[in-house]
Structure 1
Amino acid sequence: MQKPATIKDIALRLGLSISTVSRAMRNAPDISPETKQAVLLLSEELHYQPNRLALSLRQKQTHTIGVIAPNLDYVLSTMIRGIDEVALEAGYTVMVCQSNESFGREILNTGRLLDSLVDGFIVSVSSETKIFDHLKKIQARGLPMVVFDRVTPQLSAPSVRLDNEEGGYLATEHLLDQGYKRIAMLAGPANLGVSNTRVEGYLRSLKRRGVAIDKKLVIHCDFNQDYAYYATQELLAQRRRPDAIFTISDRMALGAMLAIKEKGLSMPQDIGLVGFNNEPVMRLLTPAISSVDMPSFELGKAAAKLFIEVMHNNEDMRMVEEVLKPRLIVRESSKRL
């Protein structure tokens, strides 16, 4: 395989110094037009490509954004598409790593992206993350960082998120409006803010409507269809079983639906079901599942726009927070009236 041409090769062929060739390529004013043309023609002939890494080191920018996501499910991959669209228009490349909900992998991915000389980070933390030293290290290096979707008070950083409390409130209000009286909730891990704020919305609705809160109706489990299936079996085995279930993700709603059908219950007559995220599969099921819609693509775009603003702004933007509004999509699984 032929070795790629270098500036030194061009300099030797033209009888010029390496610094002269380098200045000619940068269109420096002290280099004659004839020399610039000769350098340009020979570089094209030799298929010369500049060393992008060396150039990036000199400019102190690689125009690459490191993105860390807890998984690449439908919702997060849609957010990343939004990030990538804005980044591409702004001249940035996106390098994506997924933690697979693992704290250890999140630390590893952070180190690898730092070694890759990314200009900064857009991060959504894993469900296992309780210590944030590895992310604070990014800030200590002076690199811009934006937190998206899973925002935590432990990190003082600009952020973009959904109004998750409002989403939980909308789902619970709808179920109460449809005549359901004993509403259970499948929540995520107890340490995860995005889950807890959806629970807060659920509780706010119950309190506003004067409905007694039963702690046995709130079950914390992983964002996983199997966990939701077993959690729903546990709920349906209670002496006073719930007449509706609100899950904080559509994957969990699928698990709940399997357990409900296995029990021989019909939706919405015997029991109502509402998910969260409004993934496309929800409208294809029988019955179609109601779900809180999350503008995932727009959230990703907003995160990338905020990152670029932080990148080119000398002001302290750590307290900047952009909050997108959810909406409820009502389908057959919960509509009684």
Structure 2
Amino acid sequence: MTYQALQTSKIYLITGAAGFIGSYLSKRLLNEGCQVIGVDNLNDYYDVNLKKTRLGELEKQEGFTFIKEDISNKETVENIFEEYKPQIVVNLAAQAGVRYSIENPDVYIQSNIIGFYNILEACRHYPVDHLVYASSSSVYGANKKVPFEETDFVDTPVSLYASTKKSNELMAHTYSHLYKIPATGLRFFTVYGPMGRPDMAYFGFTDKYFNEEPIKIFNNGDFENDLYRDFTYIDDIVEGIVRLLNNPPQDEDVQHKVFNIGNNNPEKLMVFIRALENALSNALDRDVEFNKVYEPIKPGDVPATYASTKLLHEAVGFKPETPIEEGLQKFADWYVEYYNKK
């Protein structure tokens, strides 16, 4: 196994740079001495102040250029590529969330399909060394076979969000085939950590605790058949991405590959919740227990996510390993400080 280390001489374009993964990746690249062009439309799907906080951290660093634009505007995307001529493109701009896609389908088509098409077209007309883009573990749908492997059948998505991510993989494969664009799709598995997305369960549970509200757990109260999730700490996600950036697929036929990035160690939802209670107890120096209400599983939710990380390990010698106790403690400490909850 040989792979190229990060090349700091290249120009990196990160879409969704004010987002959770995008901001962490941008910060890591800037710390390594790279030039980063960050694009984000700063939409209000969740608290814009959190996005601005992440952005503020990046704007302190040398080598960062921020462009407030939407990738669903084709002319804007072409202008960015023409002006900055990025060699490595990481497309993380997307409308996230499984449940939200049921309520607001339009925005998913606009951002995840049209936006990604615009990125592919720009990579076609302004050739890049590597396009890396966000897919999702949700493409596996209700697959029963675990762990999920990249070769599994994924033609039965159970949410529109999952459909858009599967579509991204198909679009990237086609463009790679037709125009020789080296492209890598990353199926992320439940990413969490400090400055994460407030729409994620662990963040929402914490909000509700401080608002003295009960948390809703969508598992029917069935602890024997609880939901399993492969929770992946943000630093592990970023390490995986960074290792892949300068290692585009080399296949002669189609230079397109898909990798899982997950913890390869799924936890029951209730175990995760207890770990979060413990982390908050430590951060606050008092006992924390959520008021729990159990409800039926939501449409679009899948019973388990469990990543095989064999391909990723073979490609770049990395396997995410941060235990949830460590990752959640870092989140709890950050939350208590950021929202001044001591």
Q: Same fold (TM over 0.5)?
A: no
TM-score range, shorter chain: 0.3 to 0.5
TM-score, normalised via structure 1 length: 0.35
TM-score (norm 2): 0.34
The structure with the larger Rg is 1
| Structure of higher RCO (CA pairs closer than 8 Å, 6+ residues apart) | 2
